[in-house]
Structure 1
């Protein structure tokens, strides 16, 4: 469970700003996450350089520090000095070239991305779901914790995500997105390119209410590396 104090402070002090993802950048290979926004505060954990975190700006008395939350792969909350944070939105933006209810296309910097979405047939796929122990809440899809519905039946899903760099397909396994339900439209989807590290970041802020989540897919040197999910609640 993420640090309750950090979450409560974020909820009371601000409203989460979608898209505020940042990369940890530190020559030592990692950054210390501290309990409070100063260099003498207790260290609550470490985040490796290159990892993606979600930012909260909740403490105006410490303008050089930001509150961060890590993804579900390494759940942690605390303060990081701003000099160790590089917001994804400051990298090269891959522009949206077309958008429909079921398809988003991005192209630029020799990168082409096509995101396809559609209605989800729950009855047809019911056997792939499992429920949370002792409840009727849907919990997993195909062995992975599902995102986007807060335990109810999903109505929309990604049907495919295709990525090309310099005309070469980057294979994204179905497992990387099949449990990410209720995908959003172009307003809440973005793609960025870090030319220095040859890394593509595809981000989406999906669903709403208690089911809302942010996901980032990371592609480096022409290969899919990983995804991570950030949940406020």
Structure 2
């Protein structure tokens, strides 16, 4: 029952706060502004295909989170220069078990699995003045808990297209803990050959969303949204 409630809560918050999208403009590049007005300062420029997370509209402008050069950033873009990931055709769930979910259409199959977290295989750095609170795992930032010890992790994400298999590299899953694989959504842009795989994970202070982008059989990037 708790798992079902958590899933419903995550879906509610995801739909309430915003959606993933990609920059999609006829000029191939868009200005990100400091505020949602035409004469506001331009703080960044993004190329077509750049992943963004769209929040509320302010008139004709949309507030977005995005990453650029390793930094988490926020700004405003005009509301007609992006395309929601949800607008691309979606795969449907065909199978699920305790630790695995499969989504597919007529020719494509995506399999996402999770496993238990083995703390013996990892190195932890603790907060200096709070020795029970984990700051880094394997000397890296992590998501899913607010300083606690993970219980579960993403194990593997693979895509099958006909007889060809694509498996996301291990680093694409690093630091992503307490997955809720039943929330998985997969959209496929058959024009560019791009897969968009997203899940909503953990809950409470550790809640986060992640989007993976795989283009023409090659893993490109992931975008983690948190703190909502």
TM norm structure 2 = 0.85
1:35-184 equivalences under 5 Å are 35-57=34-56, 59=58, 62=59, 64-71=60-67, 73-108=70-105, 110-122=107-119, 124-125=120-121, 127-132=122-127, 135-136=130-131, 137-184=133-180
Name segments (4+ residues, structure 1) moved above 4 Å: 132-135
- Output the aligned Cα RMSD: 2.1
Q: Secondary structure at the match of 2:171?
A: helix
CA distance in 1, matches of 2:170, 2:130: 28
Q: Which has the higher strand share?
A: 2
Q: Secondary structure at the match of 2:145?
A: coil
Q: Structure 1 residues 223 and 48, CA, compared in 2 at 3 Å: closer, same or farther?
A: same
Q: Secondary structure at the match of 1:40?
A: coil
Unaligned ranges ≥5, structure 2: 1-12
Q: CA deviation at 1:134?
A: 5.1
Alignment coverage as a number of residue pairs: 213
Aligned to 2:8: none
Unaligned ranges ≥5, structure 1: 1-14
CA contact (8 A) 1:184 1:205 kept: yes
